[in-house]
Homo-oligomer: A and B are copies of this chain.
Amino acid sequence: MLGAGRMGLEHARTLLGIGEAQVVAVADPVTQAAHRAASLLRAEKVYAEPEAAIADSAVEAVVIATPTDTHARLIEMASLAGKAVFCEKPVAQDLAETRQVMALVEERGVPFQIGFQRRYDPPYAQAKAAIEAGEIGEVEQFIAVMRDPAPPTLDYLQVSGGIFLDQSIHDIDCARFLVGEVEEVLAWGAVRVDPAIGEIGDVDTTNLSLRFANGALGVIQNSRRAVYGYDVRTEVFGSRGKLVMDATPKTPLWRYANGISADHYHFFMDRFKEAYRLELEAFFRFLATGQRPTPGTQDALESLRIALAATKSLKEKRPVRLEEVV
């Protein structure tokens, strides 16, 4: 367990319930956080440095939930040490570096899974199965909306790589997962939520058009702020039907007074709690059965490529074909 921050703790709680997983060590430079997680996890060892944990011979697999800029290095170290890796997205913000790290992972043959948890969210997983079973025929249109309740801090945004790499990438992975490879993108962006976001060169409101290799057309709309909570809706339309994933309301309590009302999800932890559990369960099941984990290296690479193409399109104010991003 590398990293004992918010996401790390969430994973820690999940790990507790997974029979196949036994946590040997927790690593986090914040000693208190590391000890707290270790105690929760009944882990015997606590390290300040993730490198030490990776080197520990009792460790067979690492779950990386450290700051983003450490991911690439830790994946490399773990690969070289022959340890299986589960890593929160992204591997890196740079295509060349990501490609190099993913190549090393492939070369070393270590099991690798990237944390696109939505693939394990039951409605998304079922939609995928339905599409593969031909339930909606040929996919023709795709719409994904994701809006966060509030923007992250400017400090976070400044190193986030921009909204397409940081936020849209989940919808991008979802597009690849449900529809297939993307050939061309056209990104439009605006600063509507906070002028400070514009000042650091980013946007907070986007409209990303996708043209898929199979001929389908799609759009991803993101916003950094939705006052009513976390908003995630995905629609896949095909020649024989459509599938809609739209988790509203959160609680099955309906209030009738002046009209009808219900509640709403607050944020992604809230909405995708089960998905976070299921993806880790899947990772350890893959390890136990020797199957190749998914989403894997290719998924980490290709989603980043699309996000970079979107960023390029936004800057250059023109459609960008994927082959331009190498």
Hey, which bits of chain A sit against chain B, CB under 8 A? 13, 16-17, 19, 40, 42, 122-123, 126-127, 130, 135-138, 140-141, 143, 145, 147, 186, 188-190, 192-193, 205-207, 209, 211, 215-219, 221, 223, 225-228, 231, 235, 237, 239-249, 251-264, 317-319
Q: Are A261 and B264 in contact (CB under 8 A)?
A: no
CA of A253 to CA of B259 in the docked complex: distance in angstroms? 11
Q: Are B141 and A205 in contact (CB under 8 A)?
A: yes
8 Å CB contact of A123 from B240, B242, B248, B253? B253
Q: Are A140 and B192 in contact (CB under 8 A)?
A: yes
**For residue A247, which residues in chain B have a CB less than 8 angstroms away from its CB?**
252
Of A19, A130, A221, A263, most B-chain CB atoms within 10 Å: A221
8 Å CB contact of A257 from B140, B240, B252? B240
CA of A237 to CA of B325 in the docked complex: distance in angstroms? 32
CA of A147 to CA of B252 in the docked complex: distance in angstroms? 17
Q: Are B123 and A255 in contact (CB under 8 A)?
A: no
Given A135-B257, A227-B240, A259-B228: A221 in contact with B141 (beta carbons within 8 A): yes
8 Å CB contact of A318 from B17, B218, B255, B318? B318
Q: Are A255 and B135 in contact (CB under 8 A)?
A: yes
List 10 A-B pairs, minimum CB-CB distance, nearest first. Answer: A241-B257, A123-B253, A261-B261, A247-B252, A207-B217, A228-B256, A244-B254, A242-B256, A140-B192, A219-B219
CA of A249 to CA of B253 in the docked complex: distance in angstroms? 13
| Nearest-CB residue, chain B, relative to A244 | B254
9 contacts between A and B (CB under 8 A): A122-B253, A143-B143, A145-B235, A188-B209, A188-B217, A190-B216, A207-B219, A225-B239, A259-B262
Q: Are B143 and A221 in contact (CB under 8 A)?
A: yes
Given A217-B188, A255-B130, A255-B135: A147 in contact with B237 (beta carbons within 8 A): yes
Q: Are A262 and B264 in contact (CB under 8 A)?
A: no
